[in-house]
Amino acid sequence: MIKGCSFCGGLFEGNAKKKYCSPKCKKNYENSKRGMDKAQPPPNNHRQQVSTLKRPSWLDETAAAYWDKVAPMLVERGHLNILSEDAFAELCDLHSRLIDINRAINASESDRTLLQIDDKTQSLKESGLSDIKRKYSARFMDYCKQFYLTPLSNRGNFGLNKPEEPIKKEADGFDD
């Protein structure tokens, strides 16, 4: 049976299962299909999720402001979706609580310092606010790592399409 090659269009003789005139044409056809897949970016379904992700109503003003500031970037990167929405709300709440604790510590009343004198042993001990701040800070950083919000975990572009600024060389008096 004489057929046309699926890649080059040339005529060849072969059975009904054979689609290419040579192994080279078959390989070239497969490579061309792979190249087309890479040329077309995968559909970005994350933008569709923006409309379904809504800030929880139980967040206070500080937590809501943090949500509004960080959530669009995380959705764009693909790190925030329906499944991680509750965990991110918890992160926002922790951020708000840490702000409140820092305000209380900075008020610097005599009984709200980071270290207090123990009445029994007359030695310094960690205050209650300091202990809470340390625990909340540790939990906050764990959540931040999960959403790639720390400097170490935030290396790379993560799919954001912002053009890079060219590095400007300043004249330092030396010739290259």
Mean pLDDT for 68-97 is 90
Mean pLDDT of 26-35: 76
Q: Using CA atoms, how far apart are residues 149 and 158, in angstroms rounded to an integer?
A: 12
Q: What is the pLDDT of residues 106-137, one digit of tens each?
A: 776 655 566 666 677 777 777 777 888 889 99
pTM over 0.75: no
The mean per-residue pLDDT over the stretch 56-60 comes to 90
pLDDT at 39 (0 to 100): 44
Mean pLDDT of 16-37: 76
Alpha helices in 51-119 (DSSP H): 61-77, 85-106
Q: Report the candidate in 75, 76, 40, 81 with the shortest Cα–Cα distance to residue 162.
A: 76
Assess contact for 53 and 60: CB atoms under 8 A. Answer: no
| pLDDT of 41 strictly over 60 | no
> DSSP strand E in the chain: where?
2-4, 11-13, 115-117, 124-126
Q: What is the mean pLDDT of the chain?
A: 76
Three-state secondary-structure class, residue 26: helix
Out of 76-80, 134-138, 149-153, pick the least confident. Answer: 149-153
* CB contact at 8 A, 28 and 10: no
pLDDT (0 to 100) of residue 64: 93
Q: Is the pLDDT of residue 16 over 50?
A: yes
The model's confidence at residue 65, banded by pLDDT at 50, 70 and 90, is: very high
Q: Is the pLDDT of residue 17 over 60?
A: yes
**Residue 170 burial (C-beta neighbours within 10 Å; 0-12, 13-18, 19+):** exposed
Which residues, in sequence order, are bridge partners of residue 125?
A: 116
